[in-house]
Amino acid sequence: MVFNTDEIQSFAKEFYNIDVLVTPLTGYDEDNFLLTSHSGKKYILKVSSGIRPSFLEAQVSISQHLSKSEISSFFQHHIANKHDQYITIYTDKNSQHTYCIRLLTYLEGTLWKDLNVWPDELYIDLGSFLGKLDAISKDIYLDAANRAYVWDISRAEEAIKNLHHIKDPAKRRLADYFLLQFETEVKPKIASLRHACIHNDANDSNILVKEGKVTGLIDFGDMVWAPLIHNLAIACTYVIMYSDEPVEASAIIVNSYHKEYSLMQEETDILYYLIAARLCISVTQSAAKADNGLFNVHHYQSEQSAWKLLEYWLTINPLKAAHTYRLACDPEPAIQPIDKQSQLKLTRRDIIGRNLSLSYHKPLTIIKGALQYLYDDLGNTYLDCVNNVSHVGHCHPVVVRAMQKQLATLNTNTRYLHEALTSYATELLATLPSNLKVCYFVNSGSEANDLAVRMSRHYTGRNDIIVLEHAYHGTSSLDIDMSPYKFDNTGGSGQKPFIHKAPVPDDYRGIYQGKDAGKQYAQEVLRILENLQEAGKAPAAFICETLLGVGGQMPLPDDYLQYVYRYVRQYGGVCIADEVQVGFGRTGHTFWGFQLQEAEPDIVVLGKPIGNGHPLAAVVVTEAIADAFNNGLEYFNTYGGNPVSMVTGLTVLNVIRDEALQENAVTTGAILLEGFKKLQDSYECIGDVRGKGLFIGVEFVKDRITKEPDAILADYIVESMKNQGILLSTDGPYHNVLKIKPPMVITEDNCMKIVETIESILK
Binding site for ligand PMP (CB under 6 A): 444-446, 449, 472-475, 545, 549, 578, 580-581, 607
- Amino acid type, 53: P
Smaller CB distance to ligand PMP: residue 475 or 680?
A: 475
- Amino acid type, 650: L
Smaller CB distance to ligand PMP: residue 125 or 545?
A: 545
Smallest distance, ligand PMP to C-beta of residue 695, A? 12
- Amino acid type, 12: A
Length of the chain: 763
- Amino acid type, 415: R
Strands (E), 200-336: 207-210, 213-217, 224-227
| Span between the terminal Cα atoms of the chain, in Å | 62
Q: What share of the chain is helix, strand, coil (3-state, %, to 5)?
A: 45, 20, 35
Smallest distance, ligand PMP to C-beta of residue 580, A? 4
Q: Could you give the CA distance from residue 46 to residue 454 in angstroms, rounded to a whole number?
A: 78
Smallest distance, ligand PMP to C-beta of residue 467, A? 11
Smaller CB distance to ligand PMP: residue 134 or 450?
A: 450
Q: In sequence order, which residues have a C-beta less than 8 Å from that of residue 627 and are 6 or more positions away?
A: none
CA nearest to 370, candidates 583, 158, 184, 240: 184
Smaller CB distance to ligand PMP: residue 113 or 470?
A: 470
Three-state secondary structure call for residue 355: coil
Smaller CB distance to ligand PMP: residue 69 or 475?
A: 475
- Amino acid type, 265: Q
Smaller CB distance to ligand PMP: residue 317 or 546?
A: 546
Strands (E), 495-579: 499-502, 539-545, 547-548, 554-555, 574-578
Q: Could you give the CA distance from residue 58 to residue 439 in angstroms, rounded to a whole number?
A: 63
By beta carbon distance, the residue nearest ligand PMP is: 445
If residue 488 lies in a helix (H) or strand (E), which one and from where to where?
Answer: none
Smallest distance, ligand PMP to C-beta of residue 189, A? 36
Q: Are 556 and 512 in contact (CB under 8 A)?
A: no
Smallest distance, ligand PMP to C-beta of residue 405, A? 25
Smallest distance, ligand PMP to C-beta of residue 581, A? 5
Smallest distance, ligand PMP to C-beta of residue 476, A? 8
Bridge-based pairing of strands 381-384 and 726-727 is: parallel
Smaller CB distance to ligand PMP: residue 249 or 619?
A: 619
**How large is the angle between the packed helices 271-291 and 246-260, nearest 10 degrees?**
120
Smaller CB distance to ligand PMP: residue 76 or 456?
A: 456
Q: In sequence order, which residues have a C-beta less than 8 Å from that of residue 723 and are 6 or more positions away?
A: none
Q: Could you give the CA distance from residue 141 to residue 155 in angstroms, rounded to a whole number?
A: 20
Three-state secondary structure call for residue 321: helix
Smaller CB distance to ligand PMP: residue 539 or 549?
A: 549
CA nearest to 204, candidates 231, 232, 238: 238
Smallest distance, ligand PMP to C-beta of residue 545, A? 5
Smaller CB distance to ligand PMP: residue 227 or 742?
A: 742
Smaller CB distance to ligand PMP: residue 267 or 578?
A: 578
- Amino acid type, 592: W
Smallest distance, ligand PMP to C-beta of residue 242, A? 47
Smallest distance, ligand PMP to C-beta of residue 424, A? 18
